[in-house]
Structure 1
Amino acid sequence: MGESDPIEVFATRYMQEPWRFPDKHIELASLSVAMIVRNDETNIARSLESVKDIANEIIVVDTGSSDHTVEIARSHGAKVVFHPWNNSWSEAGNICLENATCDWVLFLDADDELIAEDVSRLAQLIQDIDHSGFYLGEIYYVGEQEEDGAVSSLSFRLWRNKSEYRFADADQEQLKASARHNNPRVGVAEVRINNFGYLNKPNTNKVQRDLRILMGERDDGSGDFSLRIKVGVDYLAQGDFKRALESYKRAFANLSGSDIQNAARLANNMSLCLKSLGRHRQALKLLRDAQDAYPEYVDLFYMEGLVHFEERDYESATTCFETCLTMGSHRRLYYSHSGVGSYMAAYMAARTCLALGNEAKSLCYYEKALALNAGYGRAAYDLGLLLLRKDGPENVRQILESQVDLNSEVVLSSLSLLFSQTGYYDISLIYVEQLAEKGSAPSQTALLKGECLFNLGYFKEAIAEFDKVAISSQHYSAACANKSVCYMLIGDSKRAIEAIDLIKSIKEFALVHAIYRSVASLSKGRVSSISLDVAQKDSALQIVADLMGKLLELKNLDVFEKAVALLDELGLSPGESSLFLGKIYYDAGYNEIAVEELIHAYESGSADGESFYILGSTAFDNEFFEEAKTFFFEALHRGVEELGLFVLLGRTLIKQGEIGLAAEVFEAGAGKYPNAPLIAELRQHI
């Protein structure tokens, strides 16, 4: 048989393509989203929301939740399969796969989020006919907050739904091997997943489990690149930056010279480790070398900004974040951290400008962050704080609502916290009620609502809300502590002790339990005793300060005065107690009593720089300028360098007619805050 005419072959294939016939039904590939869950009510709604527009079905295998996880999953249309946890991740994973009926499977954790701008890419990907599966980009948040930086990796998350593709371990090696055996083409896709599982308060048990699994499977120290990256992430989550760095260095040493993607990503990961270790100079050297090699990788410039921010070099940090905004977001070849080229860079630029004293420019950047992402709760919160300095809560509320997405649960939660933490509990309650209607995080919502009612003085109603918080929820301990205080304030010390005893076995809340139980006993007139290690003293004092400050805010002086006895038990001298109480009184607006306590602290030799700043501010407000001058200079001498101190001291000296000395103070202030408009204005006036 002779060779076919290539033109005829092309013509035949061309005419057979489905898109040539618009009326012909085209069968699109379908997608099952699968996940294993247990007590994930805090995160699962975000994960399910992120795939709602692409998933044909959602399979959730619940291994024993006692919170609202199952209800939330079902409310998002998921099929929930119950399977007891048998210490086998692969067993639960295979239950997911056995229940999946679509052409492809996307495997997620409950704390994952498919990045919105990549949904369309994923939709195109599952129409692929050549590959058996794909690695996707995974962005791990490992700091206290998202803006602290992230590390990235590749993870095998998407594959064809075939009966021979099954898990035999927890890092998916066996499943990948099956996929390659059936079809050696496993691809890498430009689809990213955010992982919030290690953010702020990592699940230590999960991290240690992952490390045991990962390292156990590679006892010889070998292993593929993605394994090294994952081990590094787990070390980061534990705060072991040194081991994380070593893991990344080993991965880097095994790279081929042409592997641009992984080299750039590793440079960013290693720089985050160096930053966290305080090795800023090395971090900057690595970042600048990487920027020369990979000039389009915006994450490197964002990370440089974070290093400068940590060094308090706010001008350099601002330049870096502005560079990120100019570069823009996700570029080909790189798995960029979501937002580093847009809203997150604008937010960090706002923070650097505020640190430099330039409120006007900071305000513009906060608004830009929200313009780029109206669902960015942290920007809404910080912008609100800035606006509340100069405007009333109702006006601020209107301004914020004109710039944010009120359908976003993150925004509603942030606005609730903003107005709650600034004392406008009635406004906060409005946003909590809106959040409750969505029903996605019932324990968190109950805690927020309870706190609002508590602060408004509705203690019994607050208790009812705190009772709704699930025992398995991360908010349970806070709910018990708040409930205990409510009982103290209605005079039921017995139930106050019972409420706080509910968390006595939770190690992280041992100090809270000891202190609240002592205050409950003191409120009943009983003798209380508390024993602490020296290392626990500062933490204990902060807990006491927060509790006593709240008692003052609620004007419950009876319980407050009984709680003062705790200071003796914590080992404070009379002078130290006066210093401690003076600051609490001042923060609560009891200025006259605050001054009395701080003067006593001074006479006892216990005063510090902050106390002199407070005394100076009070003297200035009462037009005692000579005394204010003395206090302010003493505060400067003791290391206080706040912008407000330079401004108030300069104004005090002007009132005293000491113009030359005032100019020197403003000059010193300008050295610390070169872009502060207020200091510039005062210097020009002089």
Structure 2
Amino acid sequence: MALRLPADLAASSAPPAGAPPVAAPPAAETGPVALGAWRAAWAAAAQETPARRHARRLRLIEELLGDAGGHRPADLTSRLLALADALVAALEDEPREPLLLNHAGVALYELGALRAADALFRAAERLDPQLPFVAGNRAEIRRRRAAGLGGTVALDAAAARRLKVLGERARRVAARARPAEGLTLSLCMIVRDEEAMLPACLSAVAHAVDELVIVDTGSVDRTVEIAESFGARVLHHPWTGDFAAARNVSFDAATGDWLLYLDADEVLVDDDAQHLRALTGHVWREALYLRGASHTGDLDDGTAVTHDSLRLFRNRPGRRFAGRLHEQVQGLEELTPDRFAVTDVRFEHYGYLGEVRAAKGKRTRNRDALAAQIADGDRSPFVRFNLGMEHRAEGEHEEALVHFRGAWEDLRGVPDGERLGFVPMLALHLVDALHVTGRRAEAAECAREVLDRYPGFTDVVHVEGALALDAGDLATAEARFRRCLELGDAPSAMSGSAGAGTFLAARALAGVLQRQERRHEAIALLEGTLRDHPRHLRTVEDLALALRADGVEADEVVARVAATGVGEHPVARYLLGRALLRTGAVAGAEAQLRTALAGRPGSDAARVALVEALLAQGRFDDAAREAAAVAPEGPHGPAARRHACFARLAGADDGSVPLEGLDRLPPAEAALFAAWATPGADGPPIAAGAAPLARTMLGALLRLQRFEAFARLVAAHERVDLPWRERRETLADLYLRHGFLSSAGEEWLRVVDRQGPDARALRGLALVAAQSGMTEDAVALAADAEALAGRPLEEIA
């Protein structure tokens, strides 16, 4: 045949990797297909359920066409007429079937009814522009008409008359093949204490649906009142720890022809909700995917995982949820792939943001639900994957790896396991967990296996770049990150990260270029990336740091960032200020951070950075006032308390200083501040956990030349439960770093006087001598240290 049909008709219009498992249609009968038996089977299919009927018809078409090649021309003509007649009759009952329209067009094309075939092809394309081969089939008709050719089989007079009638019927069918109108849509939700997020969710979607069915599972805030203000029918269902059970209450109550489900922390993008109405007319589909973007980390990071999520369904009996957590819709198993489709309707999911998870107690809730599901006997790879994701969200990478590995191994024995929607995400997180936990060789091997299964999975190529970077292989790292940029972001069906093939890859590549001293290339790349992806503001910080490393003054850095078009955004100002602060431009940092706070007064992150800028300038009273404005119970509260205590104590001339909020700090840190605030007081040893904070504050006091406060903190540092020598070496290193060479030498000499000369002490003295310009003494001390150590020393010059 000249026209194109998929090799397996039942697999055409295949759904994305996120589709549920699809049962195979009945197996084809072996041997030649008897036309009478075929007609009987076609008639019998009409008695099946809609899903089984459609699957059976596709298989019968495949059987008949696949068996046509071995027959005489007359038999072939009979078969094509039988197929065309059966398909046209089926389409007269329901013309909105793109796949059947295309198949009927193929049969009529072969018989020479080109006008009718073209009408059917155009109807199929009108319903489903992405239908495989239909555009090519229309092109083939145009070619055959231009060449003055007819059909591919000979027709006798009776067959010609029959074909004429079929052609007329087919053209009438094609004219009727348009999306349905007047179908209704119900939004189904379950909620609990969602007053913060529910208004944004409902505002974006309420106007696009016919019915709001919201199941409340025990809210004690204004959630029910807000839902009712949007016209929702609110049902009350006690929470049992089972998400599927609660969702099924909403599905049972819904009356729409189509069912859409969302969570309160999901918001349809811009005006995408208006497209939902058109989708309800796509009655040749049974389940539709929306394109989701789950924001991760902090909202202003611009990082998100993209995914296709099955959210829109025909309202059918038995189509209900199962699973306590990450519940899945059942009743889709008999559908053929062409019954699914991915739409362009987008939604944004905010529930994975760190502050949202913490505020809603998702950590405990999700783990409890998964534990209950396992207790119910569900130890499936999907449950193990989700448990791994919960551990990963908490930074428990070793625990996450156990579950990811187990799920991956369990899937090896599952036929067509790669079709399960969560498997690409599982594969990525397995590779990433191996990387994060230091199993680099295993991560590289696993990455190769995943890419064999999912070629072009950009996120895995990105991890390969990170692995090469860890190994110091800058050439390979550069090649892998450039490959990411070539690939672009992975298809949403793979649930990859937004930006893995654009801004995230560009930032990683810029880092590699800087390590190769190719700063100008890195800066140009970052500037272009920021212009192309202005929503990903983290690039601002990378660009500012790269410019500062290249010797650019702070004012010019500000101007260069502003030239990209994002400089006025409060978050851009914050990130720019943070970069200037890290590189010592504290006055410029303060200006940027104050501008950021003017735009977002509630940004505790920006306020804490401003406190640090004020401390770096020795403006202790101003720093203490700003620190007091930080929400004490928020994520930045502990840092603000530390800074406030430091400001009070660093700014004090002498005597005891009262402090507030010590009870909200870790006990070791609170004890360190208390000892610093009451000089000369005796007390128990301070836990070693205070040592890093003590070192940081001692270094800051030396930089600010607050020597009296430094001396008081040194006294408190002597009480930290560390070996005496470790305390000496800490001070010696700090003195050396800040140019107090004599004091550094004294600390090392104290070590020698008490414990005798050893390699470490002599190395320290050699460094002091070298920085003091005493080259001969430095060389001699280094040689003595080398002799004591019995191994080479780095050259001291």
Is the 2:434–2:440 contact (alpha carbons within 8 Å) kept by the matching residues of 1?
A: yes
Change (3 A) 1:490 1:280: closer
Task: Give the equivalent residue in structure 2 for 1:23.
Answer: none
CA RMSD of aligned residues (A): 5.8
The 8 Å contact of residues 526 and 539 in structure 2, kept in 1 or not, is answered as yes
Counterpart of 2:594 in 1: which secondary structure? Answer: helix
Asked if 1:526 is matched to 2:686, the reply is no
CA deviation map 1:463-518 (0-9, x unaligned): 333333224311112222222223324549877432322x05xxxx3332232233
How far, CA to CA, are the matches of 2:556 and 2:764 in structure 1? 31
Structure 1 residues 30 and 475, CA gap change in structure 2 (3 angstroms): farther
1:500 to 641, 647, 662: 662
Match of 2:749 in 1: 600
Determine which of 171, 175, 178 is the counterpart of 2:325: 171
| Partner Cα separation in structure 2 for residue 641 and residue 336 of structure 1 | 48
391, 394, 409: which is aligned to 2:555? 394
User: Is the deviation greater in 329-338 or in 209-218?
Assistant: 329-338
Any conservation in 1 of the 2:191–2:264 contact (CA below 8 Å)? yes
Does the C-alpha gap of structure 1 residues 363 and 468 become closer, same or farther in structure 2, counting only changes over 3 Å?
same
Q: Tell me which residue corresponds to 1:663.
A: none
The equivalent position to 2:407 in structure 1, one of 236, 244, 247, is 247
Counterparts of 1:71-86 in structure 2, within 5 Å, are none
Measured in 1, the distance between the counterparts of 2:389 and 2:260 equals 24
Equivalent in 443, 447, 468 of residue 608 of structure 2? 447
Determine whether 1:544 maps to 2:702.
Answer: no
1:40-439 aligned within 5 A: 107=262, 124=275, 127-129=278-280, 130-131=285-286, 134=289, 171=325, 173=327, 176=329, 197=352, 206-222=362-378, 226-237=382-393, 238-239=396-397, 240=399, 241-251=401-411, 253-254=413-414, 256=416, 259=419, 262-331=422-491, 333-389=493-549, 390-403=551-564, 405-439=566-600
CA offsets per residue over residues 139-185 of structure 1, 9 Å max, x none? 68689x989x99887766667999x9999986263x8459999xx97
Q: What displacement does 1:233 show?
A: 0.6
Show the counterpart of 1:578.
728
- Within the candidate set 596, 619, 641, 2:770 is matched to 619
Question: Which residue does 2:171 correspond to in 1?
Answer: 7
Deviates further, 548-557 or 360-369 = 360-369
SS of the residue 1:565 aligns to: helix
- 668, 673, 683: which one pairs with 1:511? 668
CA distance in 1: counterparts of 2:703 and 2:220, whole angstroms: 38
CA–CA separation in structure 1 for the residues paired with 2:219 and 2:751: 58
Q: Distance in 2 between matches of 1:635 and 1:125?
A: 76
- Corresponding residue to 1:567 among 717, 732, 735: 717
Look up the equivalent residue of 2:659 and give its one-letter code.
Answer: I
The aligned amino acid for 2:578 is L
**Is the contact between residue 463 and residue 483 of structure 1 (CA under 8 Å) also seen in structure 2?**
yes
Aligned residues between the structures: 600
Deviation at 1:302, TM superposition (A): 0.8
Structure 1 residues 258 and 422, CA gap change in structure 2 (3 angstroms): closer
1:487 to 2:487 alignment: no
Q: Hey, what's the Cα distance between the residues in 1 that align with 2:610 and 2:724?
A: 39
Counterpart CA distance in 2 for 1:132 and 1:298 is 27
Question: In structure 1, the residue corresponding to 2:491 is in which secondary structure?
Answer: coil
Alignment CA distance shift 1:37-1:311 (3 Å): farther
In 2, the alpha carbon distance for the partners of 1:631 and 1:423 equals 34
What stretches of structure 1 of length at least 5 have no aligned partner? Answer: 19-25, 653-686
Whole-Å separation in 2 of the counterparts to 1:355 and 1:167: 51
Moved more, 184-193 or 235-244: 184-193
Distance 1:312 1:572, change over 3 A: same
| 433-442 or 547-556: bigger deviation | 433-442
**Using the alignment, how far apart are the partners of 1:392 and 1:614 within structure 2?**
36
Match for 2:433: what amino acid?
A: C
Alpha-carbon offset, residue 64 of structure 1: 10
Contact 1:153 1:230 in 2 (8 A): no
Mapped to 1, the partners of 2:422 and 2:621 lie a distance apart of: 56
Q: How far, CA to CA, are the matches of 2:483 and 2:376 in structure 1?
A: 43
Distance 2:319 2:602 in 1: 34
SS at match of 1:497: coil
Distance 1:627 1:252 in 2: 66
Shift of 1:216: 0.7
Say if 1:105 and 1:161, in contact at 8 Å, map to a contact too. Answer: no
Shift of the 230–493 alpha-carbon distance from structure 1 to 2, 3 Å rule, reads farther
Q: How many percent identity over aligned positions?
A: 18
Residues 273 and 499 of structure 1, relative CA distance in 2, 3 Å threshold: closer
Deviation at 1:255, TM superposition (A): 5.4
Cα contact 1:575–1:600 (8 A) shared by 2: no
Higher Cα Rg: structure 1 or 2? 2
Helix, strand or coil at the partner of 1:340: coil
Cα distance in 2, alignment partners of residues 516 and 170 from structure 1: 48
Match of 2:79 in 1: none
Matched letter for residue 543 of structure 1: L
In structure 1, distance between residues paired with 2:406 and 2:423: 15
**1:428-465 deviation per Cα after TM superposition (whole angstroms, max 9, x unaligned):** 23222332233374433443344434444443443333
Shift of 1:545: 0.9
Q: What displacement does 1:210 show?
A: 1.2
**CA drift at 1:541:** 1.8
* Offset at residue 196 of structure 1 (A): 8.0
Residue identity opposite 1:583 in structure 2: D
